[in-house]
Amino acid sequence: MALQTEIARYFANENSQSSLRDAFSRRSAVMPFRGRQRVPDDEIQSRWSLLLTQDALPKKRLVYVHVPFCANHCLFCGFYRNAYVPDAGASYVDLIIGEIEKEASAAAVRERPVHAVYIGGGTPTALRADELFRLLCAIKTRLPLAADCEITVEGRIIHFDPEKIDACLEAGANRFSIGVQSFDTDVRRRQGRRSSRQEAITFLENLGGRDRAAVVIDLIYGLPGQTLDIWQQDLETATALGADGIDLYGLNVIPGTPLFTALAAGKFSDASELRQLGDFYLAGDRLMQRKNWRRLSNNHWGRTTRERNLYNLLIKEGADCLAYGAGAGGTLGAYSYGLTGELERYGEQVRAGGKPIAMLTVSDSLQQARDAVTAGFEVGRLDLRSLDAITGQEISLIFSPLLGQWQKAGLLTVADGIVELTVAGRFWYGNLISAFQSILNDRLHPSQDAA
């Protein structure tokens, strides 16, 4: 009875007429630092130096490079840090290359192949063509990339001119993730996107026409002024452009962003409510099925075999991730780390020969189980038996009452130890992950002395 009461707080609303609309009262975010203990600041550098000397674990390996510059601050974005100015780009790229070169010969870096590289931000394509070229060349020549390594450059339409595109391609980029968000001109410009619908279409046609890299279009649903009809048009436009992949993300209003402030002030009376977002997701899922796109995760679909979505899938599985650049975050074995986002401090520490780590944490014994839950629900399918094997206990029995209730609520089905999410379950998957991870933590009471 105590277990039933404990788990009941994670139950979905069974009385809802639509589990897509209101299975839960809010969408939960997955907490990346759950089960992690912070390393004291005065031990960070010595601990990091020791980590670099140790042989790499037999895990998949990723690289994340952060470029903290943007042409302007879009209202919905929580990642804006610095406006791009020409003098800043070249010196910043020099710093990242220096950071990479300093670690390139370390045992923890060189002994495992890198399967995916993601250059994100910010807006990496705010850099000049020669800066992008130098950065990509340094990554390719100094890090042990696998022969089929996925190399993604994240970008926006504005300022991403043909010279920059060709520089990226010549230096080895084989995937572009383009933040379109919406093709509707009015919706775009209300969020700080300067280019029009036609300019966005023309850009993507030219990029895809090169036929030398996977092109992924990122769309957001639930933006102010974006009706369901406009969203349908966004979907039709994106799929007609012949992209290799499409991401469909529900709007997440982040505290502190200009959009959060504007909504709080009542400036967007046409903003979508949470219960409407499920309708947008359903429309997207149905259209992608009708167009025969492959669902690679809850939010990502691929049209061609060129699109693998490796970085995003492997990071959810708990792959090691080497991080470079101000504000970047990564993992190495049991450790997770975040680099300082302050450009001046980042530069000072790199030039002094140190790793500019602002925070270092070490995970507890449940991290592998958490990763299995996250990776499984991310693609809509969780093998409960894998949790038993990882924990050495029949942990799946603990979740049986919860899974039964979620099944009644229309979020999933369970058969032979395999959980399959419905469309509603895929929309609310963050809530399911959060609940599973909380229960794992509460029931198994892992040791906190891992550091």
Whether CATH 1.10.3720.10 fits 366-444: no
104/320 Cα distance (integer angstroms)? 15
pLDDT, one tens digit per residue, over 291-318 is 999 999 999 999 999 999 999 999 999 9
- Residue 284 is predicted with a pLDDT of 98
pLDDT, one tens digit per residue, over 115-150 is 999 999 888 999 999 999 999 999 999 999 999 999
Q: Is 394 exposed, middle or buried (0-12, 13-18, 19+ CB in 10 A)?
A: exposed
Does residue 183 contact residue 224 with C-beta atoms inside 8 Å? no
**Least-confidence region, from 64-78, 181-195, 211-225, 386-400:** 64-78
- Residue 51 is predicted with a pLDDT of 95
Confidence class for position 77, pLDDT limits 50, 70, 90? low
419/322 Cα distance (integer angstroms)? 32
Q: Is 315 exposed, middle or buried (0-12, 13-18, 19+ CB in 10 A)?
A: buried
Q: Which of 353, 343, 358, 354 is nearest to 92 (CA)?
A: 343
At 130, which helix (H) or strand (E)?
helix 129-142
What contacts 344, CB < 8 A, 6 or more positions away?
none
Confidence class for position 192, pLDDT limits 50, 70, 90? confident
- Residue ranges of domains in the chain: 36-316, 366-444
**pLDDT at 34 > cutoff 80:** no
Greatest CA separation for the chain: 66
| Mean pLDDT, residues 273-296 taken together | 95
**pLDDT at 356 > cutoff 50:** yes
β-pair partners for 172: none
- Higher pLDDT pick, 448 / 71: 71
Q: For the domain with range 36-316, which CATH number is right: 3.40.50.2300, 3.20.20.70, 3.30.420.130, 3.40.50.300?
A: 3.20.20.70
Q: What percent of the chain has pLDDT over 70?
A: 92
To which residue do tokens 């250059």 refer? 119
Does residue 341 contact residue 326 with C-beta atoms inside 8 Å? yes
End-to-end CA distance of the chain: 35
Q: Which of 166, 315, 314, 293 is nearest to 241 (CA)?
A: 293
The DSSP call for residue 307 is -
Give the per-residue SS3 of 383-450.
Answer: EHHHHHHHHCCCCHHHHHHHHHHHHHCCCEEEECCEEEECHHHHHCHHHHHHHHHHHHHHHHCCCCCC
| Mean pLDDT, residues 320-326 taken together | 97
Q: Which two tokens stand for residue 75?
A: 């209202």
435/322 Cα distance (integer angstroms)? 29
Does residue 178 contact residue 155 with C-beta atoms inside 8 Å? yes
pLDDT, one tens digit per residue, over 409-441 is 999 999 999 999 999 999 999 999 999 999 988
- Residue 450 is predicted with a pLDDT of 41
Specify the 3-state DSSP secondary structure of 178.
Answer: strand
To which residue do tokens 């007609």 refer? 240
| Mean pLDDT, residues 34-52 taken together | 94
Alpha carbon of residue 202 to chain centroid: 27
Q: Which amino acid is at 98?
A: G
- Residue 6 is predicted with a pLDDT of 77
Confidence class for position 74, pLDDT limits 50, 70, 90? low
- Higher pLDDT pick, 241 / 1: 241
Computed over every residue of the chain, the mean pLDDT equals 91
**pLDDT at 63 > cutoff 80:** yes
Confidence class for position 1, pLDDT limits 50, 70, 90? very low
Q: What angle do CA 109, 110, 114 make, to 5 degrees?
A: 75
Using CA atoms, how far residue 255 sits from 78, 278, 434, in Å, is 8, 22, 20
- Residue 45 is predicted with a pLDDT of 95
Q: Which two tokens stand for residue 266?
A: 């009542």
- Higher pLDDT pick, 188 / 302: 302
Q: What angle do CA 182, 187, 192 make, to 5 degrees?
A: 95
409/12 Cα distance (integer angstroms)? 6
Q: Which amino acid is at 420?
A: E
- Residue 448 is predicted with a pLDDT of 45
| Mean pLDDT, residues 81-99 taken together | 86
- Residue 449 is predicted with a pLDDT of 40
Peptide bond into 353 cis (omega under 30): no
β-pair partners for 50: none
Q: Which two tokens stand for residue 24?
A: 């839960």
β-pair partners for 381: 420
224/27 Cα distance (integer angstroms)? 18
- Residue 73 is predicted with a pLDDT of 57
**pLDDT at 451 > cutoff 60:** no
What contacts 96, CB < 8 A, 6 or more positions away?
65, 135, 138, 324, 325
Please state, as a whole number, how many other Cβ atoms lie within 10 Å of the Cβ of residue 91. Answer: 11
